[in-house]
Amino acid sequence: MLDSTTKLALAGAIALGMATGAMAADKLKTGFVYVGPVGDFGYSYQHDQGRIAMQKALGDAVESTFLESIPENDSERSIEQLARTGHQLIFTTSFGFMEPTLKVAKKFPNIKFEHATGYKRADNVATYSAKFHEGRYIIGQIAGKMTKSNIIGYVASFPIPEVVSGINAFMLGAQSVNPGIKVKIVWANTWFDPGKEADAAKALLAQGADIISQHTDSAAPLQEAEKAGKLGFGQASDMSRFAPKAQLTSIIDDWSGYYTGRVKAALDGTWKATDTWGGLGAKMVVMAPFANMPDEVKAMAQQTTADIASGKLNPFKCPVLDQAGKAAECKGGTALDDGQILGMNWYVKGIDDKVPQ
């Protein structure tokens, strides 16, 4: 089957491949591994936006590659593929990539790795995450002010600490302005599945919720709220284009500053395997414009944002009561400490649900 033209084409292709390889040699190659599609307009999309911003900021000094929709339980190979193809700094952006990242990192001690939302580090593995719960406190307050039915619907993904602490922060924020508020939770058991997420939102609306909050990645729950003429919050990115009348605000993950800083550190030779957990103050969490609400609610939300950013207000300031009304140990002095939040698997008082165990 191989005629001479094909052979020629193949030879040309090999030569071309080598040529581009040689040209890229003096650039720092960075790789990104995403759990979802870059088109989810949520979590993975925001990571990719961070990558693009980093690429723009550092220009010709870097090259970046991404792998999307990588299943967590089969990711070791994908990460290794990046390591084998000359990538010097590799970001793995989902919790389930933790063990695979560590395994590959052990095999390639000269390559730098960064793992998002995990807790295991190594000499060449840094970790980073964002304090999403700070944003959840703010949207809780807004929901507490804006609800008429006093019932909030919450579409949750998986009962991991990040999601549970998010629910708690939301509830604490809501209770701070509206002590009688109720939160109804539906576990969609997915990060990204517009159909399932929409079904969850519909069920919550049918149960009388007039505001939908979500900890899943697609815009579907927010769109359901818009369709029903109710309100909601976006997730991970500004989703107002999907629901201009419904989105009150959105908790935006902004990785661009972090990625730019880390890649720059790698270029300068100052990169270290650090652990970063930044929130509103570090601008890793940003609130989308407050919309569809009266001015006084807007002012309150802006004030809360500023207070959390400056450290004046901590969403988990003591005392934090559990469902039985017992105060949690105050390991951080005036508030819960990072470890307590990062490992949270209990609900605060007033939430009428059980953490799925």
Partner 1 sequence: MRIDLEPRAGRSLALDIGAPAGALAFAILLGGIVVWLLGKSPAQAFMVYFVQPLMEGWSLQEVAVKACPLVLIAVGLSFCYRANVWNIGAEGQFVIGGLCGGWLGVVTHGGAGQGAIGGWWIVPAMLLLGALGGALYAMLPALLRVWLGVSEILTSLMLVYIAELGLDYLVRGALRDPKGFNFPQSVTFDDAARLPFLAEGERLHAGVALALLAVAAAAFVFARSRFGFEVRLVGEAPRAARFAGFSDARLTIAVFAISGALAGLAGICEVSGQIGQLVPTISPGYGFTAIIVAFLGRLSPFGILLAGLVLALTYIGGEAAQVALKLPNDMTRAFQGILLMCVLMADAAARYKIRLVSGSGA
Question: Interface with partner 1 by CB under 8 A: which residues?
Answer: 1, 6, 9-10, 12-14, 16-17, 31, 37, 65-69, 71-74, 76-78, 80-82, 84-85, 95-96, 99, 103, 106-107, 119, 158-161, 189, 339, 342-345, 356-357
Helices (H), the chain: 4-23, 43-58, 76-84, 98-107, 132-146, 161-177, 194-206, 220-227, 256-268, 295-310, 338-342
At its nearest, how many Å lie between partner 1 and the CB of residue 235? 20
At its nearest, how many Å lie between partner 1 and the CB of residue 82? 6
> What is the token pair recorded at 67?
């792998």
| Helix (H) / strand (E) containing 114 | strand 112-116
At its nearest, how many Å lie between partner 1 and the CB of residue 2? 11
**How would you class 234 by CB atoms within 10 Å of its CB: exposed for 0-12, middle for 13-18, buried for 19 or more?**
buried
> What is the token pair recorded at 71?
């299943």
Nearer to partner 1, 12 or 195 (CB): 12
At its nearest, how many Å lie between partner 1 and the CB of residue 194? 16
Nearer to partner 1, 263 or 313 (CB): 263
At its nearest, how many Å lie between partner 1 and the CB of residue 119? 6
At its nearest, how many Å lie between partner 1 and the CB of residue 355? 9
Nearer to partner 1, 68 or 199 (CB): 68
Nearer to partner 1, 10 or 299 (CB): 10
At its nearest, how many Å lie between partner 1 and the CB of residue 202? 21
Helix axes 43-58, 256-268, angle to 10 degrees: 40
Q: Of 23, 25, 66, 52, whose CA–CA distance to 260 is shortest?
A: 52
Nearer to partner 1, 1 or 22 (CB): 1
Strands of the sheet with 182-187, listed across from one edge? 182-187, 151-156, 211-214, 231-236, 247-253, 285-287
Distance of CA 90 to the CA centre of its chain: 18
Nearer to partner 1, 91 or 233 (CB): 91
Rounded (10°) CA dihedral 194, 195, 200, 202: 110
Q: Of 208, 206, 202, whose CA–CA distance to 222 is shortest?
A: 202
Nearer to partner 1, 65 or 323 (CB): 65
- Cα–Cα distance for residue pair 123/111, rounded to 1 Å: 10
At its nearest, how many Å lie between partner 1 and the CB of residue 337? 13
Nearer to partner 1, 294 or 339 (CB): 339
Q: What is the DSSP string of 285-354?
A: EEEPPP-SS-HHHHHHHHHHHHHHHHTS--TTBSP-BBTTSPBPP-TTSSB--HHHHHT--SPBTT--S-
